[in-house]
Amino acid sequence: MKKLIYCLTLILLSNILVSQKSKDIEIIEKPIVYNQERTKLSVEYLKERHGIIQTKPTITPKIIVLHYTAGGTIKTNFNYFNNIQIENARKINKDQSLLNVSAHYLIDRDGTIYHLVDDNLLARHTIGLNYCSIGVENIGSKKEPLTDKQVIANANLIRHLCKKHKIEYVIGHSEYIKFRKTKLWKETNPNYFTYKEDPGNQFLMNVRKLIVDLNLKSKP
Ligand SMILES: [Zn+2]
């Protein structure tokens, strides 16, 4: 009996150690609504915008795109992304698809990471590359540059995502133009493009310094 208890204790302890080891960073699950309507609009987006015909809005991520929200808080940005249809004010985007913009992750200024959309489902955050990319939004703007804690959180999240997916590139939204004339770019309307300056060059440099060992590409 004593032996059995000893064995069971050992098994329990090793399980605790393994689960602690695999839980490398803290991510708070905070899913936006991904119901039938978002699914339908996402399948349509894949077809109309990317020219990809599928019955489900699934993606195979190979690019991580870093963004900033250009203002707001976790609450206001979450509520915004949670809307399924895009607002009228975003006319350039609305003309191309009714699907609202969103992102897979949202990172607060203190580095807290929220997970909004399953990594393998489409989120609309980067023209031409949504079918193969994970979008990471950060609370901040040009006037309110991203924090050191966000630098660390983004680097940790990238490291975590590289263990789960075959990620080849990490780019800032401002850098997506470099993919425009390549095979990776899938957008049926050659004129659909908007210039972006998020998430800021200094931030990108700082994140890249922490993930040099991952050998990820910044351009095609
Ligand atoms: Zn962006």
Give the model confidence (pLDDT) of 140-154 as tens digits. Answer: 999 999 999 999 999
CA-to-CA distance for 111 and 148, rounded, in angstroms?
8
CA-to-CA distance for 65 and 174, rounded, in angstroms?
9
Which H helix or E strand runs over 170?
strand 169-172
pLDDT in tens, 179-190: 999 999 999 999
Q: How many A from CA of 164 to the centre of ligand 1?
A: 23
Lowest mean pLDDT among 8-22, 129-143, 147-161: 8-22
Beta bridge partners of 77: none
In the numeric block, which tokens belong to residue 162? Answer: 């590289």
DSSP state for residue 217 in the 8-state scheme: B
Q: How many A from CA of 173 to the centre of ligand 1?
A: 5
Q: How many A from CA of 117 to the centre of ligand 1?
A: 16
In the numeric block, which tokens belong to residue 197? Answer: 């300056």
C-beta of residue 107 within 8 angstroms of C-beta of residue 137: yes
Q: How many A from CA of 1 to the centre of ligand 1?
A: 61
Q: How many A from CA of 14 to the centre of ligand 1?
A: 42
Q: How many A from CA of 50 to the centre of ligand 1?
A: 18
CA-to-CA distance for 18 and 11, rounded, in angstroms?
11
Phi, psi angles (nearest 5°) of residue 133: -135, 150
Q: How many A from CA of 214 to the centre of ligand 1?
A: 23
- Measuring CA to CA, which residue among 81, 57, 53 is closest to residue 67? 81
Q: How many A from CA of 127 to the centre of ligand 1?
A: 10
Q: Look up the pTM and report it.
A: 0.89
